[in-house]
Structure 1
Amino acid sequence: MRIGELARRAGVSTRALRYYEQQGLITARRSANGYREYGETDLRLVSEIRSLLAVGFTLDDARPFVACLRAGHESGGACPESVAVYQRKLAEIDDEIRALLSRRAEVAAQLATTCPGCTLRRVGEQ
């Protein structure tokens, strides 16, 4: 399939596909007339990349997942290198949660100090 079809099927722009190619995450074959040609495997790679980006991974984070799929595994997360990225990302998220909880406690304390009668509202409360 050509780049436009891959972009349409993967739900990305052709510019994004060219960037992924430039970053070495996907590889286009060239037809006789110079057009980029992709296969179903490339669609799977792009889908994996997009799903990782959607939850906060970077393109560099995606590399082991792409390599795992290229090695023939059913899932990009099946290889030890991918598992290590998952574990690192979870640790980063845990650190961010701790930092947010700390900030929340500080803001709540400031509110309690400046407005003793004010109540804290939870998300979704009116």
Structure 2
Amino acid sequence: MKIGELSRRTGVSIRMLRYYEEEGVVVPARLASGYRDYDAANEKAVRAICMLSKAGLKLDFIRRFLPCLSSDGPILHPCPDLMAAMELEMRSLDDQISRFRESREMLGGYFKEMCEHI
């Protein structure tokens, strides 16, 4: 399929698809005419990249685990390295959430205290 069709199917802009190609995370075949020819594997890779991106992962992280894409079943095959890296990422997010909650509680306390003196 051409890049416009891949964009329509995945909801990813043509500009972003070209960026993914520049970064080497999506590699289309080339037709004799020089046009890019994307296949189902490229579509699956783009969907996986989008899913992981929406989860807050950066492209450098995602790039390491594109080989974990499986041809059948779920989008990502549970490679041991991927599972370990995702566990570390989740721990980091949990730490951030904890710090945000503490900050929220402090600000809430200050706000409540200020309102009581008005």
CA displacement at 1:106 relative to structure 2: 1.1
- Shift of the 73–65 alpha-carbon distance from structure 1 to 2, 3 Å rule, reads farther
User: What's the TM-score once normalised by structure 2's chain length?
Assistant: 0.87
Q: Give the structure with the higher percent helix.
A: 2
Aligned to 1:4: 4
Aligned to 1:46: 46
Segments of structure 1 that go 5 or more residues without pairing to the other structure are 119-126
User: What's the TM-score once normalised by structure 1's chain length?
Assistant: 0.82
1:28-107 → structure 2 map (5 Å cutoff): 28-69=28-69, 72=71, 74=73, 75-107=75-107
Give the % identical residues.
35
Segments of structure 2 that go 5 or more residues without pairing to the other structure are none
Kindly indicate whether the alpha-carbon contact (under 8 Å) linking 1:68 and 1:76 is maintained by their aligned counterparts in 2.
Answer: yes
Of structures 1 and 2, the one with the larger relative CO (CA 8 A, separation 6+) is 2
Give per-residue Cα distances to partners, 1:64-113, cap 9 Å, x unaligned. 3311116x564424111221231122112101111111101211221233
Name the count of aligned residue pairs.
117
- Shift of the 30–55 alpha-carbon distance from structure 1 to 2, 3 Å rule, reads same
